[in-house]
């Protein structure tokens, strides 16, 4: 069975500098499978290798080693291109075309028949909420409008696989919500989606499965639920009347402490709660609140980055 995306031991080293004698390892033996019909989130800090992975799948960049297949085909094959829709990270479309002309061009290049084209173009322009601005030149568009018209361009030829590189960055909350709704609507239509981002709430809202990428490696993979519940339960304790120094001197294990005004907000593993409470009270501190703390995707992201902090960004070789 072929999957929409299969990446195996994929590595990419860029050459830099005037003499091309400096090298950056952007991907290091990456493995990734995206299954039919899912929204797959590729999550990672800046420089993790997300865009490089996408560009290899689109045949814009050539890998140094390993394989990347789109529906079982090499990215360079014309078939692979036709099955794909792509929203680039920083879209720069032809500025002097109107939104409608731009989407029509994409429809033509994407193989939408001329009989079907006008209706399909109008349909996707409506879907992205650009009906009122379709006859305006693209150079007059705001960032959010640009993002939407480029999304219309990416879906107009009914691709089976939609690749979105940071589709919501730079958008206001309303724009982000609209893009998220559109992603979910495309999934309902059976489109497989690869969604790359460093915006964590978006991932929680739309992704079926995610992989966290740091330094060109996959450091986590699973469903959002698996990733946030497989970890140890945490408790959040609010402590008053105890200085940070005195708290540290207690020697109780904790994950995080934040001083907020006169209070200390302590996060610890459930198993350490009793010991923490006893020592805080014995030292004259007061415990004013105790809550189960859900291990969030954000915690996971930060934990994954800390574990591999020496690998954030591409590795200079």
Ligand X SMILES: Nc1ncnc2c1ncn2[C@@H]1O[C@H](COP(=O)(O)OP(=O)(O)O)[C@@H](O)[C@H]1O
What residues make contact with ligand X under the rule CB under 6 A? 14, 16, 24, 26, 44, 46-52, 313-314
CA pair distance 223, 208, nearest whole angstrom: 6
Nearer to Mg ion, 54 or 106 (CB): 54
208 binds, among ligand X, Mg ion, none (CB under 5 to 8 A by kind): none
Scanning residues 50 to 69, which ones bind Mg ion (CB under 5 A)? 50-51
Are 265 and 258 a contacting pair, CB within 8 Å? yes
Comparing every residue's Cβ against ligand X, the nearest one is 314
Q: Which segment (49-57, 101-109, 208-216, 273-281) binds Mg ion by CB under 5 A?
A: 49-57
Are 234 and 277 a contacting pair, CB within 8 Å? no
314 binds, among Mg ion, ligand X, none (CB under 5 to 8 A by kind): ligand X
24 binds, among ligand X, Mg ion, none (CB under 5 to 8 A by kind): ligand X
Nearer to ligand X, 14 or 263 (CB): 14
Nearer to Mg ion, 16 or 291 (CB): 16
Give min distance, CB of 89 to Mg ion, in A. 5
**Which residues on neighbouring strands pair with residue 22, listed in sequence order?**
16
Backbone angles phi, psi at 310, to 5 degrees: -75, -5
The gap from C-alpha 151 to its chain's centroid, in whole angstroms, comes to 16
Nearer to Mg ion, 87 or 130 (CB): 87
Nearer to ligand X, 129 or 314 (CB): 314
Are 61 and 230 a contacting pair, CB within 8 Å? no
Tell me which residue has tokens 């640009």: 146
Give min distance, CB of 52 to Mg ion, in A. 8
Nearer to ligand X, 51 or 268 (CB): 51
287 binds, among ligand X, Mg ion, none (CB under 5 to 8 A by kind): none
Give min distance, CB of 314 to ligand X, in A. 3
Nearer to Mg ion, 44 or 129 (CB): 44
104 binds, among Mg ion, ligand X, none (CB under 5 to 8 A by kind): none
Q: Which segment (23-31, 44-52, 94-102, 181-189) binds Mg ion by CB under 5 A?
A: 44-52
Are 80 and 116 a contacting pair, CB within 8 Å? no
Q: Smallest Cα–Cα separation from 151: which of 108, 115, 112, 195? A: 195
Give min distance, CB of 202 to ligand X, in A. 15
Are 125 and 107 a contacting pair, CB within 8 Å? no
Site string for Mg ion, 118-147 (x = CB under 5 A): ------------------------------
Scanning residues 76 to 115, which ones bind Mg ion (CB under 5 A)? 89
* Strand blocks (E) in the chain: 5-16, 22-34, 39-43, 65-70, 84-87, 161-165, 192-197, 209-214, 217-223, 234-240, 256-260, 263-269, 286-293, 315-316
Give min distance, CB of 55 to ligand X, in A. 7
Q: Smallest Cα–Cα separation from 30: which of 200, 166, 228, 211? A: 211
Angle at 127 between CA 202 and CA 184, to 5 degrees: 35
Nearer to ligand X, 26 or 112 (CB): 26
4 binds, among ligand X, Mg ion, none (CB under 5 to 8 A by kind): none
The gap from C-alpha 162 to its chain's centroid, in whole angstroms, comes to 14
Are 211 and 43 a contacting pair, CB within 8 Å? yes
Binding site for Mg ion (CB under 5 A): 50-51, 89
């Amino acid at each position: 069975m072929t999957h929409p995306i299969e990446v195996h031991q994929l590595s990419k080293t860029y050459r830099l500098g005037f003499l091309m004698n400096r090298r950056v390892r952007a991907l290091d033996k990456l493995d990734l499978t995206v299954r039919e019909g899912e929204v797959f989130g590729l999550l990672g800090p800046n420089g993790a290798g997300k865009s490089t992975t996408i560009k290899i799948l689109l045949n814009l960049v050539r890998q140094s080693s390993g394989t990347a297949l789109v529906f079982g085909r090499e990215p360079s094959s014309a078939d692979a291109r036709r099955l794909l829709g792509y929203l680039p990270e920083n879209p720069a479309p032809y500025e002097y075309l109107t939104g409608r002309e731009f989407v029509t061009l994409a429809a033509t290049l994407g193989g939408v028949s001329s009989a079907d084209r006008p209706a399909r173009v109008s349909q996707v322009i409506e879907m992205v909420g650009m009906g009122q601005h379709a006859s305006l030149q693209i150079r007059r568009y705001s960032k959010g409008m640009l993002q939407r018209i480029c999304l219309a361009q990416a879906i107009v030829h009914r691709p089976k696989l939609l690749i979105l590189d940071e589709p919501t960055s730079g958008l206001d909350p309303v724009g982000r919500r609209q893009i998220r709704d559109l992603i979910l609507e495309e999934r309902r239509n059976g489109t497989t989606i690869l969604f790359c981002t460093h915006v964590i709430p978006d991932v929680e809202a739309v992704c079926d499965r995610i992989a966290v990428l740091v330094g060109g490696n996959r450091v986590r993979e699973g469903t959002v639920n698996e990733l946030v519940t497989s970890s140890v339960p945490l408790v959040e304790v609010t402590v008053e009347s105890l200085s940070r120094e005195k708290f540290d001197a207690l020697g109780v294990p904790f994950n995080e402490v934040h001083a907020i005004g006169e209070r200390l907000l302590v996060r610890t593993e459930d198993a350490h709660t009793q010991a923490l409470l006893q020592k805080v009270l014995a030292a004259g501190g007061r415990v004013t609140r105790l809550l189960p703390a859900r291990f969030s995707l954000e915690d996971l992201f930060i934990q994954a980055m800390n574990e591999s902090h020496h690998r954030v960004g591409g590795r200079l070789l």
